């Protein structure tokens, strides 16, 4: 086989593997950080921070992914910080406030310079996968599915913002 053809096939395979599989990052000391290059000068950095909710936490009785009625999550997401080329994204609390016991994050490229933040969490029947999609420097969609019943138990939110122009 021609060496240039082998090189092209290897390059195409590496692009497929890179865009299909993401390295999962575990939480260390309550924080998980990841980054992804979307282009030659297009870098995204993400940090997900967790805290232990107090007994008087305002939403301790609310349903949360990663827990159940008798066993609320021991950790909740405190903040998600996304920087793209030095610009900080606004991420509403509704995008992550009900995600408990997160264990791993990863980033994937999406078409048109978009990206997806994947958050895995919970355990057994309370496990979940959350997908937060970003386009045009803001969150556009969130989908959370049950780890045990992904076809039956899920929720999806579409985000749309009307920005003031100063």
Please give the residue that has the higher pLDDT: either 144 or 66: 144
Residues 130/118, Cβ–Cβ less than 8 Å: yes
With bands split at pLDDT 50, 70 and 90, how would you rate the model's confidence at 60? Answer: low
Q: What is the pLDDT of residues 138-156, one digit of tens each?
A: 999 999 999 999 999 999 9
Whole-angstrom distance, CA of residue 147 vs CA of residue 127 = 5
Whole-angstrom distance, CA of residue 151 vs CA of residue 161 = 29
Residues 46/88, Cβ–Cβ less than 8 Å: no
Please give the residue that has the higher pLDDT: either 7 or 128: 128
What predicted TM-score, i.e. pTM, was given to this entire model?
0.82
Q: Which two tokens stand for residue 161?
A: 């913002």
Half-sphere exposure of 151 (CA within 13 A, CB side): 0
Q: What is the pLDDT of residues 7-59, one digit of tens each?
A: 444 444 444 444 445 678 888 889 999 999 998 889 999 999 999 988 777 66
């Amino acid at each position: 086989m021609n060496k240039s053809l082998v090189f092209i096939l290897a390059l195409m395979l590496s692009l497929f593997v890179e865009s299909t599989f993401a390295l999962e990052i575990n939480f260390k000391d309550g924080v998980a950080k990841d980054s992804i290059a979307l282009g030659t000068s297009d870098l995204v950095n993400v940090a997900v921070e967790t805290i232990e909710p107090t007994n008087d936490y305002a939403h301790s009785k609310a349903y949360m992914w990663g827990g159940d009625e008798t066993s609320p999550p021991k950790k909740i997401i405190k903040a998600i910080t996304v920087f793209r080329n030095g610009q900080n994204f606004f991420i509403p609390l509704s995008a992550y406030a009900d995600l408990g016991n997160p264990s791993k994050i990863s980033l994937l490229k999406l078409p048109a310079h978009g990206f997806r933040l994947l958050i895995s969490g919970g355990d057994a029947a309370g496990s979940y996968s959350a997908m937060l999609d970003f386009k045009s420097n803001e969150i556009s969609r969130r989908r959370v599915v049950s780890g045990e019943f992904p076809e039956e138990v899920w929720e999806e939110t579409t985000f749309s913002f009307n920005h003031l122009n100063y």
